[in-house]
Amino acid sequence: MTHFGISEDVALAAEILLNGGVIGMPTETVYGLAALALNEDAVVRIFDTKGRPRNHPLIVHLGPTTDFREWGNFNEHALSLAKVFWPGPLTILVPRTALVPDWVTGGRDSVAIRVPSHPMAQDLLRRVGSGVVAPSANKFGKVSPTSPQHVLDDLGVDVDIVLDGGICAVGVESTIVECTDVFQILRPGYITSEAIRQCIGTSPEGSSGTSRAPGMLASHYAPTARVLLVDSIQQANDLFAELSADKKVRILHFDNVDSYAESLYEELRKSDNQQYEIVIAVRAPNSGLGIAINDRLSKAAAQR
């Protein structure tokens, strides 16, 4: 297929998707590698392009006017969350309907669904009029992309077009909450467990832990540089003094958690491009969005 590079042409991107192509799709969290959920060949191409095992389940993205109940069986918790947080950076895991094929869920009975809030994603999904699966548009195990250039850097001509929706405002992947016979957070994100508790009235399980969705390996979101985690700037400075004599070392730190989330993947990529050997990252306070940042940091720092 022709490779169109980075473009703002939503109509062309929709046409490519409808013809079975694979595109870079902007969302408010990270860029996705998108294909029609109901087209098996296109979905297989996603797995091949990412180098991702085929049994790892994918998130189905829907437009704001699509009836999400065609894709999943929503219990009361799921309906309340959809009403409050969609469109937005929340993925809801529910039992799948007969419409959802095995190649989307890896044969599981549940399906992960999300209605993104990014205006260009909404425009695209509206034009397509059906479910679009989109894992993050990076090579398997690597740092997620938060700009169109990141997608091109990682996947090159293997993606038919990268829709240019600018820099992702949130910067870390969506929160995944399971609403089946269990109510639990599988991956922390921008929508905090506290916000979910306020919506539902009870706390989901796994509110403070690291992600537990299948395929969320301990080593994930990993740059080439070694990542070392510390709890304060003082500790970071001490470690820097110790290591920088014979290594190229930098410190990663933000006072504001929103800026930390937005810039985290960009900074990890920059560290690799500038050939840093070690990144000393200061953990965020372990509450709210800080939980998601620390989850991604600990995966970036995990032994490979």
Q: How far is the CB of 286 from ligand TXA (least distance, A)?
A: 21
Three-class SS of residue 53?
A: coil
The identity of residue 217, as a single letter, is L
Q: CB of residue 215 vs ligand TXA: minimum separation in angstroms?
A: 4
CA atoms within 13 A on the CB side of 74: 18
CA distance 280 to 72: 42
Which of these, 153, 122, 151, lies nearest to 135 by C-alpha position? Answer: 151
- DSSP run (H or E) holding 229: strand 226-230
Say if residues 27 and 146 touch (Cβ distance below 8 Å). Answer: no
The CA distance from 173 to 225, in Å, is: 21
Instruction: Give the residue, chosen from 66, 136, 175, 298, that forms a contact with Mg ion under the rule CB under 5 A.
Output: 136
110 binds, among Mg ion, ligand TXA, none (CB under 5 to 8 A by kind): ligand TXA
Q: Find which of Mg ion, ligand TXA, none residue 101 binds, CB within 5 to 8 Å per kind.
A: none
Check residue 32 for interaction with ligand TXA (CB under 6 A).
yes
Q: Which is nearer to Mg ion, 49 or 66 (CB)?
A: 49
CB of 143 closer than 8 Å to CB of 187: no
Radius of gyration of the chain (CA): 19
What length is written for the chain?
A: 304
Q: How many CB atoms lie within 10 A of CB 21?
A: 21
Distance of CA 292 to CAs 83, 209, 226, Å?
23, 9, 20
Closest by CA position to 61, among listed 120, 130, 11:
130
> Which one, 178 or 250, has the nearer CB to Mg ion?
178
Using CB under 6 A as the binding rule, whether residue 237 contacts ligand TXA is answered as no
Using the minimum distance from each CB to ligand TXA, give the nearer residue, 140 or 251: 140
Q: Which of ligand TXA, Mg ion, none lies near 58, with the C-beta cut-off 5 to 8 A by kind? A: ligand TXA
CB of 279 to ligand TXA, least distance (A): 22
Q: Rule CB under 6 A: is residue 135 a binding residue for ligand TXA?
A: yes
Nearer to ligand TXA, 39 or 136 (CB): 136
In the region spanning residues 136 to 195, those forming contacts with ligand TXA, defined by CB under 6 A, are: 136, 173-174, 176, 186
Is residue 130 at the binding interface for Mg ion, with CB under 5 A as the rule? no
Q: Which is nearer to ligand TXA, 68 or 276 (CB)?
A: 68
Shortest CB 113 distance to Mg ion, Å: 16
User: Where does this chain bind Mg ion (CB under 5 A)?
Assistant: 136
Residues that bind ligand TXA (CB under 6 A): 27, 29-30, 32, 56-59, 91, 93, 105, 108, 110-112, 114, 134-136, 173-174, 176, 186, 213-216
